[in-house]
Structure 1
């Protein structure tokens, strides 16, 4: 009898162990390969049709631009346009507006970030935008951060897909509850230093473990950790973007990435991709992140093959068309050999 009781306990413990192992395995992230994601990304660009009106392919809002930093919002905004968004609005400080306008006549520049009634001026514009990007060239002035806090609150209310980069990440690092229960897709695009600041831990190789608190706050979160290989992950799936690029690290390349991700996110949200269920997972933000990372890495490679050490982020923007055609439109172009 005593032996049977001990045996029963052993059997129960074995089944308990199997259950715990099974549960742990079921919560392990699913890794998606680049080929799979690239094939999916090719489905995102909207068709070009005479029946469509201006704005359908994307209305993007970029929040950034200060006295010190006018290039960053330009790079993000012009890349968003060149990838294929129809309209891009730059919300900046008054001192930056005229400078940014001289860079490009295509951008709609609104000097509202330091307006005395900033949130009131900005809210009507937010309603018409598909995706909001916060951070490039924002600066760290406390009064600007106070406005951005209001903007994030408005984006929550309007359920706008959101991308946060650069100084926007610095704001989030010190005010982490700003992303709590965000109701739509939210993509953070930190480099390794910014990621360490976000999670309060320098062990970046444990990126998913260190991000547990962020995912507890926001289940709609996707994180892109930029580095020698870009690591993209959400609460259930992950991938890496490797290869291409070059050793040239001129300023502005992260801004290009943020702008590209914003347009891809707009398109992915317009597509009929199944939302999360027992059988599937909503991959839209991860697809958008992959598309932006892949495009910018290849732009870096192609621009470097032409300009070498003199390559700048501006040279990379001129390669968006070539790279996009090759990877996302299934077209072969005159410099296709560069991609081999």
Structure 2
């Protein structure tokens, strides 16, 4: 199946190939991505699984889930490939004489950060105050370490209540749906009644250059100064949980961005890499490519799953199409790049 892609989309995907690492014998475990999803309350176990599993299926070496103990046991039954850590805690599970609080709970998670490249905050997090406070402390610490951060779902409540948590931090991506986007705009006094591109750009600018992916018919991507739309065809079923595949894919692409910046490979390592011109991409361009690539893979997964399942499509159906979507966008020669290079 060939994808119907505009010339602009083809060119952006062509550029995004630069941050996709080759598979080389010289690499060792962990270099191509160590991602942790922070979420998973007792009521929501699917969301963190879909996010972490998507990260692994796209190509991250190590994928973790940090969640509430009652969620951990359930999530561990979904897959033996993910590492599940029951380090979060809900207020209603605290024993009457417990001395645990957000500060003490966050220490164990913070102790893991040196072993990670990226954190994804929000899938299945819920709205328990203790869970949110713990996540807030971890986000602050991850920011101080310069880590890649993806925030979605109830994690976005942290931004609505405390915009300074992420303001001016340009290694972060927010992925709000229409309701979450409206809530963020209201919290930051941004007019959301304008066009998606204008509203997204204004919100990103208000947050000091944070990258925002406003999910919709087309995904609008902006850092406040540069705004683009990902028009890669998606599916027509709006089943809940598809955004968790997006957050997981973004986590992997952010980890690959870090590997690219560290120079873990060069153009000579990539056979047939016509996109290699020896010029290193800047931070803003890298974030744009990460956001666009994550959006494109997820939308293609949705498209493939919908063609296969129709109205019966569920979030889990996207997961089995991640590798095929990646191949179609970056490996199968679906189009031509600027210099005639195949996508």
TM-score of the alignment, normalized to the shorter chain, above 0.5: yes
Bigger CA drift: 238-247 or 101-110? 238-247
1:72 is matched with which residue: 22, 27, 47?
Answer: 47
Q: Which structure is richer in relative contact order (CA contacts within 8 A, separation 6 or more)?
A: 2
SS state of the match for residue 132, structure 1?
strand
SS state of the match for residue 228, structure 2?
strand
1:197 is aligned to 2:186: no
CA distance in 2 between counterparts of 1:216 and 1:309 reads 38
Counterpart contact for 1:268–1:287, Cα < 8 Å:
no
Bigger CA drift: 209-218 or 136-145? 209-218
Report deviation, 1:217: 4.2
Counterpart contact for 2:57–2:322, Cα < 8 Å:
yes
Report deviation, 1:177: 1.9
1:110 is aligned to 2:90: no
Ranges of 4+ aligned residues in structure 1 off by more than 6 Å: none
SS state of the match for residue 119, structure 1?
helix
CA distance in 1 between counterparts of 2:184 and 2:174 reads 10
Match of residue 139 from structure 2: 152
Report deviation, 1:43: 2.2
Q: What are the ranges of 5 or more consecutive residues in structure 1 without an aligned counterpart?
A: 1-31, 277-281, 333-340
Bigger CA drift: 75-84 or 201-210? 201-210
1:244 is aligned to 2:233: yes
SS state of the match for residue 109, structure 1?
strand
Q: Are the structure 2 counterparts of residues 204 and 223 from structure 1 closer, same or farther at C-alpha, using a change threshold of 3 Å? A: farther
Q: Are the structure 2 counterparts of residues 181 and 65 from structure 1 closer, same or farther at C-alpha, using a change threshold of 3 Å? A: same
1:314 is aligned to 2:313: no
Q: Are the structure 2 counterparts of residues 99 and 331 from structure 1 closer, same or farther at C-alpha, using a change threshold of 3 Å? A: farther
State the TM-score, normalized to the length of structure 1.
0.81
1:301 is aligned to 2:288: no
CA distance in 1 between counterparts of 2:217 and 2:175 reads 14
CA distance in 2 between counterparts of 1:101 and 1:204 reads 44
Across the two proteins, how many residue pairs are aligned to each other? 294
5 Å-filtered alignment, 1:102-181, equals 102-114=77-89, 116=100, 117-181=104-168
Deviations 1:60-106 (A, max 9, x none): 01111011100000000100111100101111011100111111101
Counterpart contact for 2:234–2:300, Cα < 8 Å:
yes
State the TM-score, normalized to the length of structure 2.
0.81
Q: What are the ranges of 5 or more consecutive residues in structure 2 without an aligned counterpart?
A: 1-6, 91-99, 262-279, 335-343
CA distance in 2 between counterparts of 1:210 and 1:267 reads 25
Bigger CA drift: 306-315 or 255-264? 306-315
